[in-house]
Amino acid sequence: MAEPRRQSPLKVDPAIDELISQGAHFLGLTKKDLVAEAVKDYLAARRTEIHDRMTEAMRLLDGSTSSRLTLLTGVPPEEIDRLGGVRE
């Protein structure tokens, strides 16, 4: 049986924490519920951007070590080859 997921503390700047506290208070929500709703709305509003970036990442990955290195570092494959390449 799968273990229950643990909650994780969210670290934010004090000014943001104050905004969360005030917003939650005046909306009658817990801070946890306000943040959850806000994140869901934010990601929904940026769904196209997320999809585009995921698609681009998948396009770049061809299963090779070089493609993974390019994705992780942002260094183009040509530059990796110029610097000596990688062993597959």
Model confidence pLDDT, tens digit, residues 16-58: 999 999 999 999 999 999 999 999 999 999 999 999 998 888 7
The pLDDT value recorded for residue 34 is: 98
Helix, strand, or coil (residue 34): helix
Tell me how many degrees the CA angle 64-71-44 measures, rounded to the nearest 5: 125
Q: How far is residue 80's CA from residue 87's CA, in Å, rounded to a whole number?
A: 11
Tell me the C-alpha distance between 64 and 76, whole Å. 14
As a whole-number percent, the residues of the chain with pLDDT over 70 amount to: 99
Distance CA 30, CA 25 (A): 7
Task: Give the residue with greater pLDDT, 83 vs 88.
Answer: 83
Q: Write down the pTM of the prediction.
A: 0.64
